[in-house]
Amino acid sequence: MTQFHGQVAWIAGATAGIGRALALEFARRGADVVVSGRRQERLAEVVAEIEGLGRRGLAIACDVRREDEVAAAVQAIEARFGRLDVAVANAGFGVIGRVEDLTLDEWRRQFDTNVFGAIAVAKHSLPVLRRTGGRLALVSSVSGILASPRVGAYSASKFALRAVGLTLAMELRGSGVSCTLLNPGFVSSEIGQVDNQGTFEASRKDKRPAALMWTADAAARVMVKAIAARKREYTFTGHGKLGAFLGQHFPGLMCWLQRDDRSQTVKLD
């Protein structure tokens, strides 16, 4: 497990769930790992786990909605390690509600984090990644391929992020830097316990189907493998692949199956 030995990986949005699991998986594979997010006490815990695996860790308080903080995070990584080999834009949350009921502020909040935050991570990390022939990864969702009732804002942000990721894969061809778009299905995380303002509520019930849920550790293993292989796009889980296939090839069927009067659909990650 020394695939990333001597390399530095940055996970933006690493306080819990997939982000935390990605940080630990990269550490297991030999990388020194930088974690960033808004909850500093959580970041310190993740760094302790990274160091417990024998790797160097660095926690950086960073809200991806603030471009100046993203730029400062990259500068801090360069100052500490002198390089950056992997950047993963993982920060995100889901706004829930019917399109006609959501406020424009809720739509803006959704896009500020899920789309513009990821773009900021990509924009500011790419100059450093070009020097190392590194890897960029954007964490999208099966919801970026398959639309569902009551999660229009979340799906729209992930559809947009998918376009960004696929475009970057083309624009970076020949540069030595790869861009991997990751589309998870149901993965155990705190996303179902975050409200429309982006605030985590521990008492909030996650309404996603537990029987279809992957663990974050299992998700991290396949995601890091896809990033290492420089795949252009990788979709998982099994149910996620099925949903993505039907969403792409049988949109009429999925529209009928997911009619709002028949469904209590929730986002896929």
Residue type, 128: V
CA distance 114 to 160: 9
Question: In this structure, what are the phi and psi dihedrals at residue 223, rounded to the nearest 5 degrees?
Answer: -70, -45
Rounded distance between C-alpha atoms, residue 183 and residue 240, angstroms: 8
DSSP class of residue 59? Answer: E
Q: Which of 207, 149, 185, 210 is nearest to 269 (CA)?
A: 185
d(C-alpha 31, C-alpha 57), whole Å: 9
Neighbouring CB atoms inside 10 A of 246's CB total 15
* Residue 223: partners with Cβ closer than 8 Å, 6 or more residues away: 18, 22, 25, 137, 139, 182, 184, 234
Catalytic residue among 93, 154, 214, 236: 154
181-208: b (≥16 Cβ within 10 Å) or e: bbbbbbbbbbbbbbebebebeeeeebeb
The CA distance from 63 to 116, in Å, is 11
Active site (annotated) includes residue 234: no
Any idea which residues carry the catalytic annotation? 154
